[in-house]
Amino acid sequence: MKNYLKSEIKYGFYSKLYYKMFALICILVCGIQFINYSAVMEMKGNYDRKVEFYNGDIEAMQEDLNGEFKVTVSADGKSGMIENPILYYKTMLSQYVSYIHPDNVITQLEEMSLIIIPIVFSLFGAIYVSLDDKYRMKKLKTIRNSKFSYIKMKQISMLVSALMIAVSGVVFGIISNRIFFMLVKNKIDMSLVDISLSKTDLKTEFARLSIILLSIFVFLELGALLAAVFRNSTMSVCIIFAYLYILHIPGKYELLNCINYLYDKFFDFKGIVNVELAYDNFNFAIVLCELILLVLISIVIKFYIETKRSSFEAIN
């Protein structure tokens, strides 16, 4: 088992799949962190313009900064009015700078996983399952081992590989976060902002990590199942992107709604990444059971398809 796992991981490196997935994570992480950085600079610009409005009247400005602000939103939600805008922009600037602070990087990465996981791991699952068909390795592997052993080890190696990619993404995210924060420090007087660090207890952090792992497994198995059904990674990828960004499947307990509900329940979302629930009053137990069952059912169906399909069957 250990040797087989090593060979599968080497196979992932030789096929350059790991490098491609890591590159995709890097692009997404940098893209989101750049948007966070841009939000900080935008708030700094808004704050500076309000400071200029006071024309050097320090007393009046300090009085407003010591007061309160109020945001009034219109009934249609398309417009609004800010009372005491200088305090509002200073507060938002502090919130955004705090969000990208290196001490808050884990919270930031956890929240951006809502965007990254569906893209990266559904693609990885679809491509990983298709590799043996693409390079015609399935025949050789099922001759050396029983088909059941091959499918079982393929499943384990896929999960281990996904966790390796996730960890590498976290490491890259920590490094890139420090770079973006250095850019912020070079352009903003840090005495202007009040840094607020995220504090979560062990129970909450465990719940967040569990949700992230469950989300990884859900989208990983979804991509893998599509690849097992169609034996075509391109078609599987097209279906995944259509589902994520084009099609809207109605239903309160639809997959994306369930994932969004769990993230909304356990995460604060104080940066540019946010989640809006299409429905209210979800049942936590139903959501959790649905996602776990989805993973298990996907694995069972995939096992059934692969055991019934000949390893020597030609790809259409």
pLDDT 10s digits, 151-209 = 888 889 899 999 999 999 999 999 999 999 999 999 898 888 888 877 777 888 999 99
How buried is 104 (Cβ within 10 angstroms: 0-12 exposed, 13-18 middle, 19+ buried)?
buried
pLDDT digits (tens, 9 = 90+) for 98-107: 889 999 999 9
CB-CB neighbours of 227 under 10 Å? 26
Residue 65, in any domain of the structure: no
Residue 245, in any domain of the structure: yes
Fill in the DSSP letter of residue 120. H
Residue 133, in any domain of the structure: yes
* Domain count within the chain: 1
pLDDT given for residue 147 in this prediction: 74
pLDDT confidence band for 316 (50 / 70 / 90): very low
Tell me the sheet residues that pair with 82: 71
pLDDT confidence band for 136 (50 / 70 / 90): low
Residue 151, in any domain of the structure: yes
Query: How high is the mean pLDDT of the chain?
Result: 86
Phi-psi region of 188 (alpha: psi -120 to 50; beta: other; left: phi over 0): beta
pLDDT digits (tens, 9 = 90+) for 213-260: 999 999 999 999 998 888 777 888 888 888 888 877 778 888 889 999
Percent of the chain with pLDDT strictly greater than 90: 41
pLDDT given for residue 77 in this prediction: 61
Residue 292, in any domain of the structure: yes
Confirm if 290 and 253 have CB atoms less than 8 A apart.
Answer: yes
Inform me whether the pLDDT recorded for 60 exceeds 70: yes
Decide which of 49 and 250 is more confident. 49
pLDDT confidence band for 314 (50 / 70 / 90): very low
How buried is 224 (Cβ within 10 angstroms: 0-12 exposed, 13-18 middle, 19+ buried)?
buried
Q: How far apart are CA 293 and CA 129, in angstroms?
A: 21
Residue 85, in any domain of the structure: no
Tell me the sheet residues that pair with 73: 80
Phi-psi region of 106 (alpha: psi -120 to 50; beta: other; left: phi over 0): alpha
The strand pair at 70-73 and 80-83 is best described as antiparallel
pLDDT given for residue 43 in this prediction: 92
pLDDT given for residue 241 in this prediction: 86
Phi-psi region of 283 (alpha: psi -120 to 50; beta: other; left: phi over 0): beta
Range of the domain at 164: 2-21+103-308
What tokens does 35 get? 């948007």
Decide which of 232 and 33 is more confident. 33
Confirm if 164 and 18 have CB atoms less than 8 A apart.
Answer: yes
Host H or E run for residue 80:
strand 80-83
pLDDT given for residue 135 in this prediction: 62
Residue 194, in any domain of the structure: yes
Q: How far apart are CA 312 and CA 316, in angstroms?
A: 12
Residue 40, in any domain of the structure: no
pLDDT given for residue 1 in this prediction: 65
Q: What is the dihedral of CA 280, 284, 286, 291, to 10 degrees?
A: 100
What tokens does 275 get? 């989640």
Confirm if 224 and 128 have CB atoms less than 8 A apart.
Answer: yes
Q: How far apart are CA 77 and CA 81, in angstroms?
A: 11
User: Model-level pTM?
Assistant: 0.87
With a CB cutoff of 8 Å and minimum separation 6, the contacts of 123 are: 21, 24, 223, 237, 240
